[in-house]
A and B are shown apart, each in its own frame.
Chain A
C-alpha cells in the first residue's frame, strides 16, 4: 500500500517537473529573444569622392577595399578607368595609377594573399563599318598583377595561350587558399589555373552560373538556379567537376548574392536582408534588413566583413540621372545607444521601388517616427495574403496598409481604413490642390480611404478619324463599331479571350443589379459579346511580321490597349497611329473607360492603428509639395504627380524646348528622349500646348480605379468561356452557366 502511494507521488512529482520544465523552457526562449532585441545595426557612410560613375569591380583584403570603375565623358566620348584603394579602418582613399587604354575594361579583380591584386584586363579591338558601327569585335584577355601598396605593375600575362582559345572571354575571377585562379567565362565554363598560371583543368556546369565566390575557408564556389531555387556548389579541382549542392541555403528564386565572409563562410544578401552562412554547420543566420538601417540595397554590388565586425557594402545607385557609389558600414550597437523613435508599421505585399526610397528618406529625416516595413509577399501571393488577413483579425494590423496588391474596395468597405480627408484638412492640405478625379476614385461612401503619390492612365486607343472624338463608349457602341469596320483583329496579337476580357473588364457591373441582386449574364448583350469575341482567332498570330504601327495605320487592327504615364508616351502614341487618337478606354455604361492606375505606393491608414498621427505623418509626406515636386522628371517619369501644382510643373518641363549648338553656331532643338513600342520608335521633342492639353483632358477623364475587377467573377467567366471558345458549347448555354454561378456570388455578397 505504501509502495503504491509512493509510486503515485513519484508520478505526480514527475508530472510537475515536466510542467515546470516546459514552463521554464518557454521563459528561456523569451529571454533569448529579448537579448537579441537588445542590439541593433546602424549605418555609417564613408566619405569618398570617386571620379568614376560606378564601381564595376571590387576586391578586399585586410580591411582594404580596392575599387575599379570608369567614367564616361559625354563631351569627348572618352571613357577613363580608375582604380581606388580605400583603407576602411582609417578611412583613407587613394587613387592608384592604372595605365589602361581607352578600349580596355577590367573584367575581374581579386586580392592575393600577399596583399597584391590580380586583374583581368579585356583589350577589345574592332573595326568601324561605313555607318560608324563597330564590326569584327575581338576580346583579348590579359592578367595583370599589380602592387596593392602603390598600384605599380608587377606582371602582365596574356591569357590567350593559357586558356587554349584566342578569343576566350573572362567574366570574373576568384583566387582560392592555395593561390589557384578560377576564371569564369560568363556562361558555364570555369578555367582553373595554378599560381604559376598553368591550366589545371576546365570545369563545365550543366546550368548557367550565376556567380562565383570564394569562401572564408579558401575554397571557391559557384551559384546557379536549380529545382528549388539558387544552389551553391563547391568547385572540386580534384574531381574536375562541381560538388554536391550545399544544404541549408533557403529555397527560392529571388535575388541572392554571396560574398566572402570573415567570421563565417559567406555573407548572403537576399531580398534586402543580410545573413551569414556557415559551411560547417550549413546554417544561415539573419543579421539585419538594410531597410532597417536606412539603406536601399537594391543596388548592392559588393559586401564583406571587417575585422572589427562591421559589415560593409558597396552600393552602386544608377537609378538617378547622375549615378553614384556609396560605401556603407553597418555597425552592431546596443539598442539603447540609438535614439528611440516611435515605430510605424508599413504592411505591404511587396514594397514599391520608389516607396522604398521614400521610406528611407523619411526615416533619415524624421526625428519622432520611424517606418518599419513588414513585407507579407513571398513566392506565393496567397500565403502572404492569408498572413496579412490573419494579422488584421488578430489585432496586429500594420499602421499603414499598402493597398497596391490587395482588393482595395473589399478592405475599404469593411471600414478598416481611416478617412484621410479630416487628416488633410487638419494638416492644411487642401483637397482642391490635388486632382479631384483621382481622389474621387479612391473614395468609398465619401471617405478617402487610400492615397497614392503618382498615377497613370490605362486605356484603349483608336484613330479619332474613324471612331470620332469620344473619350468613352458603351459595350454595344464598341461592338457596333468593330463589326462595322470588320478588321482582321481588334488588337495586335489579340485572341478571343483577350478581346472578350477587354469588353467586360470594366463593365461587369453592367450585368449585375446590386440593389435587387439580379444578374443578367444570360441576356442578349452578354451573348452577343461572346459571339463577337468568338469571331477572332483562338490563338494570336505571332508569326505575322507586319509591325504594329503599319497595322494600325492600315486599319488592320482597330484598337490598342496601353497606358499613358507621361506626356512623352502620349506623343509616342500619336506617332504610332500617325494621326490624332481617341482614348476610348474600356467599354462601360457611363462611357468612363479610362482607368486610374496607382504607382509609387498606394496606401491607407488602419482604423485600428494605435498611432494614427504617426502614420499620417508618413502618408502626408508623399502628398507634400517637396515630394510631389521630386516626382517631376526631365523626360517624363512612370506616372503623373497627384498634386496639381507639381503636375503643372511637369507639363511646363515637358513643353520646354532643349537646344544644342551645331557647328555653325545655330541653336538646334534637340530630342528630349526616344520612345518606342513594338517595332516603332520615335524621337520625342518638347510637347506642344495642344498635346499637353490633350494629356490633361485624358487624365481628368479617368474616374475609376483600375484593378478593382472582381477576381472571383472573372475566374468563373474565364473558366466557363473556355469551353465556348473551343467550340464545345453554345453561347447561350455558356451564358446560362455563368449567370447561375455568378448569381450565387452576388447573393453571397449582398
Chain B
C-alpha cells in the first residue's frame, strides 16, 4: 500500500500527540485523589498555620504581620522551651546514634547471648507508653526505687522529676525507648556492606580502626543520616512522655517546645502556637538540610 511519506509522518505525529495528551489526562485523573489528599491534609493545614501566625487571634482575625513572631521570640517561656528542646536533642540524638551503633557493632562481633541481647534492647518498643511512664514514675519518684538504691550508698534523696536532674531522666528514658530500633537499623546496614571490600581491606593489612572509619562508616552514611533524622524527630516526640509524667507545666528543665504549643492551643492562643510552630519548622528544615549535605559529602563515593 502506498502512503505519501509526509502525510504518514504527520498522522503519526498527531496520533502520538493525542496519545500523550490522553495519557496525561488519565495520569492527572489517577493522581487526583493523592493530590487532593495532600492538599487537604498537608498543604491546607500548613497554610492555616501560616494564616494564624499572622493574625491577632483566631476569633478576631486581625492581620498583624510578624508581630506574633516577635512576641513569641521574646517570650521567656518560648525561649526556655527552645533552649530545653535544643539541649535535649543535642544530647539525646548523638547519644542515640552513637550508642546504638556501638551496640550494633557489639552484636556483630562474636559474643555469647547475642539474640537474648537483641531481644532485651528491642523489648522497650513493645511496652505501651502509659505503662512505661508509670514504671518511670515509680523508679524516679521522690520515695522511688532509685532514691532507695542511692540511699544504700549514703546519697541523699533527689527529687528527680522536680529538679535539674529531670532532663537526665528524660534522656535515659529516650535512650531506653529508642536504642533497640536504631540498633536493628545499624545491624541491617552493617550486614549489607560488601564482604569482598572488607576482605580486601584485611588482605591489605588495614587495621580494624581503618576498616571501621574508612569502609563501614562510609557505607553506613545513609543509614546514619536516616537514624539521625528519625532520632531527631523522636526527640521532639518526647513531649508525650513528659506530659504523662508531669502534665502541662513540668519542672522548667523538662518544658519543651511542644508544651508551649500545646498550652497555647488549649488557651486558644493559636497565633502564638502557629508562630512557634513555624519557627520550629524552619529550624528543623535547616538542620535536616545540613544533615543531607553532610551525608552527600561523606557518602557520595559509595553510593555510585
Chain A interface (Cβ < 8 Å from any Cβ of B): 8, 12, 15, 389, 392-393, 397, 410, 414-416, 517, 607-608, 712, 715-716, 719-720, 723, 728-729, 733, 737, 740-745, 747-750
Contact = CB atoms under 8 A, between A and B. Distances in A.
16 contacts: A389-B268, A392-B58, A392-B268, A414-B59, A414-B60, A415-B60, A416-B59, A517-B76, A716-B249, A719-B247, A720-B162, A728-B143, A737-B162, A737-B251, A740-B252, A741-B252
B80 A733 contact: no
Interface residues of B, number: 29
Contacts of A745: 249
A743 B252 contact: yes
A728 B268 CA distance: 37
Given A743-B252, A748-B77, 15 more contacts: A15-B29, A393-B58, A397-B59, A712-B248, A715-B247, A728-B142, A737-B251, A741-B252, A744-B80, A745-B249, A747-B77, A747-B80, A748-B75, A748-B78, A748-B260
Interface in B56-73: 57-60
B255 interface: yes
A678 B241 CA distance: 46
A410 B269 CA distance: 10
Nearest to B260: A748
B8 interface: no
Given A410-B267, A748-B264, A12 B60 contact: no
Closest 7 CB pairs of A and B: A747-B77, A748-B77, A747-B76, A393-B58, A737-B162, A416-B59, A741-B249
Contacts of A415: 57, 59-60
Contacts of B142: 723, 728-729
A716 B252 CA distance: 13
A5 to B, nearest CB: 9
B26 interface: yes
B124 interface: no
A743 B26 CA distance: 59
A740 B162 contact: yes
B77 A744 contact: yes
B162 to A, nearest CB: 4
Interface string B258-277: 00100110011010000000
B268 A414 contact: yes
Contacts of B57: 414-415
B295 interface: no
Nearest to A389: B268
B255 A744 contact: yes
A742 B251 CA distance: 9
A639 to B, nearest CB: 30
Which one of B30, B58, B251, B260 has the greatest number of beta carbons of chain A within 10 Å? B58
Contacts of A720: 162
Given A8-B26, A750-B75, A393 B270 contact: yes
A243 B76 CA distance: 63
Contacts of B299: none
B268 A747 contact: no
B148 interface: no
Contacts of A12: 26, 29
Contacts of A737: 159, 162, 251
Instruction: Classify the interface of chain B: helix, strand, loop or mixed.
Output: loop
A410 B29 CA distance: 48
B84 to A, nearest CB: 10
Contacts of A608: 59-60
Contacts of A414: 57, 59-60, 268
Contacts of B29: 12, 15
Contacts of A712: 248-249
Interface in B158-183: 159, 162
A741 B26 contact: no
Which one of A414, A723, A733 has the greatest number of beta carbons of chain B within 10 Å? A414
A202 B109 CA distance: 78
Interface string B106-132: 000000000000000000000000000
Contact of A741 (B75, B250, B264, B267): B250
A716 B251 CA distance: 10
Contact of B75 (A15, A392, A716, A747): A747
Which one of B57, B59, B250, B255 has the greatest number of beta carbons of chain A within 10 Å? B59
Contacts of B80: 744, 747
A497 B60 CA distance: 40
Contacts of A723: 142
A414 B272 CA distance: 13
B60 A416 contact: yes
B106 to A, nearest CB: 40
A741 B77 contact: no
Contacts of B76: 517, 747, 750
A723 B267 CA distance: 29
Which one of A389, A729, A744 has the greatest number of beta carbons of chain B within 10 Å? A744
A392 B247 contact: no
Nearest to B71: A750
A748 B159 CA distance: 24
Nearest to B161: A737
A461 B78 CA distance: 43
Contacts of A747: 75-77, 80
A741 B251 contact: yes
Nearest to A393: B58
A12 B250 CA distance: 55
Contacts of A744: 77, 80, 249-250, 252, 255
B104 to A, nearest CB: 39
B156 to A, nearest CB: 12
Which one of A397, A741, A743, A749 has the greatest number of beta carbons of chain B within 10 Å? A741
A685 B159 CA distance: 60
A196 to B, nearest CB: 62
Contacts of B59: 392-393, 397, 414-416, 607-608
A60 B268 CA distance: 53
Nearest to B58: A393
Contacts of A716: 249
Which one of A12, A715, A742, A747 has the greatest number of beta carbons of chain B within 10 Å? A747
Contacts of B26: 8, 12
B251 A740 contact: yes
A607 B60 contact: yes
Interface in B257-301: 260, 263-264, 267-268, 270
